Structure 1
Amino acid sequence: MPIVLVVEDETLIRDLVSEELSDAGFEVLQVGNASQAIAVLEARQDIHLLFTDIDMPGSMDGLKLAAAVRDRWPPVHIIITTGKARPMTIPANALFIPKPYLTRALVSAMRTFDNMC
C-alpha cells in the first residue's frame, strides 16, 4: 500500500483529503506544516508521495518543502497544490494540481505515480 504524506495547514482540508485518500487505498500520514513533514521524512524511509499545499505558516512554504524533498529524498513523488496562481517553477518531476481540485483527479494522479514505483 503506497504511503502518502499530506502537508496542509488547514485542518478541515487535511482531514477530508486524508479520509478520501484512505478510502482510495492509500496509507496516509498527515502534518500541518513543512517542519513536521521534514521530521516525518527523516524518521521514515517508506514515504512514496508528498502532497503539499504551498501557503503554510512557518519558515518553509510548500515550494521550499518540495525542493528540499526533491534534493534529500529523490524517490519521493511530489504533488503541489494552491488556491492561488500556479507557481512559476516547481521541482523537477513534480505535479501541480490547483485548488479547488476533485479528489478523483488527485487519486488518479497519485495512482499514476504509484505505477511508476
Structure 2
Amino acid sequence: MTPTAAPVLIVEDDRNVLDITSFVLESAGYPVLTAMNAEEALLVLAGHPEVGLILTDVNMPGQMDGIDLVRRLRESGNPVRCVVVSGDALHAADRLGDLAPFLAKPYDRRSLLGAVQAALVA
C-alpha cells in the first residue's frame, strides 16, 4: 500500500524511461500522470492540484529544465514535493543544492520506490 493516493507527476522526455518509470510506480500502487517537458508539467499541475510528488528529469527540451521547474514551483509558493533525476549526477547535484532530493540515473526499481516514498513522507 502506498503512503498517499495523490498522483505522482513524472516529467521525462525519453519515452522509454517515462514508460518504465510509470509502470514501476503504477505497479507499486501510485497513481501516475506524465509530462514530456517542464512547460507541459506546469499545465498538468494546474489541472491536477492534487499531485503529491513531481519526479522530474533535469535535461529536457524547452525553456526550462527540471531544476528550473522545481525552482519556479518554489518561487511561486507551490509546496508540492519534488525529486530530481539525472544521468549527469555531479552537474545536476551542484545546481540543485538543497532544493529537492536527487536520484541518479540509471535507477532501479528499489531506488526509485525508495526515493519516492522518502520524498512523500518527508
Length-normalised TM-score, structure 2: 0.87
8 Å CA contact 2:73, 2:79 repeated in 1: no
Q: How many residue pairs end up in the alignment?
A: 116
Give the structure 1 partner of residue 101 of structure 2: 95
Runs of 4+ residues over 4 Å off in structure 1: none
Equivalent of 1:2 in 6, 10, 21: 6
Query: Aligned Cα RMSD in Å?
Result: 1.5
Deviation at 1:68, TM superposition (A): 1.1
| 8 Å Cα contact 1:52-1:62 kept in structure 2 | yes
Structure 1 gap ranges (5+): none
SS in 2 for 1:35: helix
Identity of aligned residues (%): 34
Higher mean alpha-carbon deviation, 40-49 vs 86-95, is at 86-95
Distance 1:97 1:12 in 2: 18
* Residue 63 of structure 1 pairs with residue 63 of structure 2: no
- Quickly say closer, same or farther: Cα 1:67–1:91, change in 2 above 3 A: farther
Secondary structure at the aligned position of 1:89 is classed as helix
Unpaired runs of 5+ residues, structure 2, are none
Aligned twin of 1:33:
37
Q: Distance in 2 between matches of 1:92 and 1:73?
A: 16
User: Which letter maps to 2:118?
Assistant: T
**AA aligned opposite 2:24:** E
Tell me if the contact between 1:67 and 1:91 (Cα under 8 Å) persists in the aligned partners.
Answer: no
The normalised TM-score by structure 1 is 0.90
Amino acid at match of 1:36: E
